[in-house]
Structure 1
Amino acid sequence: MESDDGTHHFAPHVVHIEEGGTVTWTLESGAHDTVAYHPDNADLLPSASERRIPDGAQPWASEFLRTEGETFQRTFEEAGVYDYVCTVVEHGHGPERGQGPYGHHPTHESTGMVGRVIVGWPDPDSDAQPALRAPADELPEAARDELEGFNERTRTALEHDDDH
């Protein structure tokens, strides 16, 4: 999780792990969180209510990370494609989560701070993987563009899985 020169991003943007693998998000700079796109997280960010993780998978929402080196870990037991977002908004009063009382300030999602975890070798059909569907029009343009790019790269990788 990084902030530099007015941009915010997860690095790498996409990771591919085996079932049972753990992803560790580490705060390198700025203030960030990692929140699954799932209806259970709509209270943190309305656009997070779009389900972009496998049906039946448990969503996550990290704590707000403020100190460089802080981490959040999640183990992924179920094969699938999981999309997540940073819900932090920055304004003159400092960073906070989601829209908060300053709802007119954009979140890091508006700068395209989204990421993806691919677990195992799931079916690349968008009916089986909600994350592979076109992103909702309600998402900020930068987030939609990133997710569409993820979709192209993910489908290519999963359809050419002869090496696994």
Structure 2
Amino acid sequence: MESDDDSNHFVPHVVHIEEGGTVTWVLESGAHDTVSYHPDNADLLPSTSERRMPEETRPWRSKLYRTRGETFERTFEETGIYDYTCAVVEHGHGPDRGHGPYGHHRTHEATGMVGRVIVGWPELDSDAQPALQSPADGLPDAAKRELEEFNERTRAELEHPDEH
């Protein structure tokens, strides 16, 4: 999780792991969290109410990290595609976790700070994998652009694994 100049991002943006693999998010700079797109997270940031992970899987939300080197880990047992974002809002007094609508405060999600975890070799069926659906209109434009690009990259990776 990084911040530089006017951008915030997860590095790498997309990871592909085996079932049972663990992803570790490490704060490199700025103040960030990781929040899955799932209706249970709508209280934190309304745009996260769109489910962008498999139906039977549990959502996650980390705490807000402010100290370089802090980590958050999650083990992914179920095959599927999981999208997430950073729910931090930049207020005049500094970063805080998102609560409520965007208003005049800019979220890190609005800068395109989204990421994807691909677990195993899921079907490329958008009914089975909600993350492969086009992002909802309620998402910030930068986040929608990134998620659409992730869809293209994911399809290419999973359809032709030997070429990547």
Interval of TM-score (by shorter of Structure 1 and Structure 2):
over 0.9
Alpha-carbon distance, 1:156 to partner: 1.0
After TM superposition, list the pairs within 5 Å mapping 1:46-125 onto structure 2. 46-99=46-99, 103-125=103-125
Paired position in structure 1 for 2:130:
130
Counterpart contact for 1:99–1:107, Cα < 8 Å: no
Instruction: Determine if contact 1:90/1:107 at 8 Å carries over to the other structure.
Output: yes
Q: Which residue of the partner structure matches residue 2 of structure 2?
A: 2
Sequence identity percentage: 76
The 1:30/1:124 distance shift into structure 2, 3 A limit, reads same
Instruction: State which drifts further: 129-138 or 101-110.
Output: 101-110
Q: 1:11, 1:130 → 2: CA distance?
A: 23
Scaled by the length of structure 1, the TM-score of the pair is 0.96
Distance 1:155 1:102 in 2: 31
Q: What do the CA deviations read for 1:106-147 (whole angstroms, capped 9, x no partner)?
A: 100000000000000000111110000000011000000000
Q: Distance in 2 between matches of 1:122 and 1:111?
A: 28
> Residue 43 of structure 1 aligns to a residue in which SS?
coil
2: distance between equivalents of 1:104 and 1:76?
Answer: 35
Q: Which amino acid aligns with 2:159?
A: E
Letter in 2 for 1:137: D
Change (3 A) 1:49 1:102: closer
Amino acid at match of 1:41: N
Alignment check: 8 A CA contact 2:43 2:100 kept: no
3-state SS of 2:74 partner:
strand
The secondary structure found in structure 2 opposite 1:90 is strand
Letter in 2 for 1:77: E
Query: Does 2:44 match 1:44?
Result: yes
Gaps of 5+ in 2: none
Aligned length: 163
* Partner Cα separation in structure 1 for residue 66 and residue 49 of structure 2: 24
Q: Structure 1 stretches of 5 or more lacking a match?
A: none
For residue 115 of structure 1, give the secondary structure of its aligned residue in structure 2. Answer: strand
- Whether contact under 8 Å (2:89, 2:108) holds in the other structure is yes
AA at the equivalent of 1:12: P
Matched residue, 1:155: 155
TM-score by length of 2: 0.96
Question: One-letter code of the match for 2:88?
Answer: V
Question: C-alpha distance in 1, partners of 2:143/2:88?
Answer: 14
